[in-house]
Amino acid sequence: MKNKIQIGIAVFFVCIGIIGVNTISAQQTSTNNTIQEVQLNKNDAFNEIRDLLMANFDFTNSDYKQGIVNSEVKFEITENGRLVNIHSKGDCKNVNREIENVLSNLHYRIDSDKLNGNMIASTYVMPVRVDINNR
């Protein structure tokens, strides 16, 4: 009986040791999976997209939620610089729909000088904040 207790205690400590080693190794590798913040500069293509979105946005729709509406737009860039697979989600479904319509119907291509091989076939997320004033 004494041997069974000793074996049980030994197994317990081995399991705790294995769990500790796995946790430490998981914490060490998780730093490689962090998403890095990307700073946008004035000449960046995403600022051009944001400016075109605001220039073509229809603010007169009465179905929009009043006040500040926060949305998030996801899209991909094709090899020729077009925006595809545009999806928006946020505070107001009507604003989201308008964002998707505007970006889908833009006759805009990102300048090939601003594209590199890493930008193609990637999904981008762009925050959009719209202030709908009282009508």
State pLDDT tens for residues 46-88: 788 888 888 999 888 888 888 889 999 998 888 777 888 999 9
Distance, in Å, from the CA atom of 114 to the CA atom of 121, rounded to the nearest integer, reads: 15
pLDDT on residue 50: 85
pLDDT digits (tens, 9 = 90+) for 97-125: 999 999 999 888 877 666 666 566 577 88
CA of 113: how far to CAs of 20, 75, 110, 124, in Å? 49, 19, 8, 18
The yes-or-no verdict on residue 2 having pLDDT over 60 is: yes
pLDDT on residue 126: 87
pTM listed for this prediction: 0.63
Full set of structural domains in the chain with CATH: 44-132 (3.30.1150)
Distance, in Å, from the CA atom of 45 to the CA atom of 131, rounded to the nearest integer, reads: 23
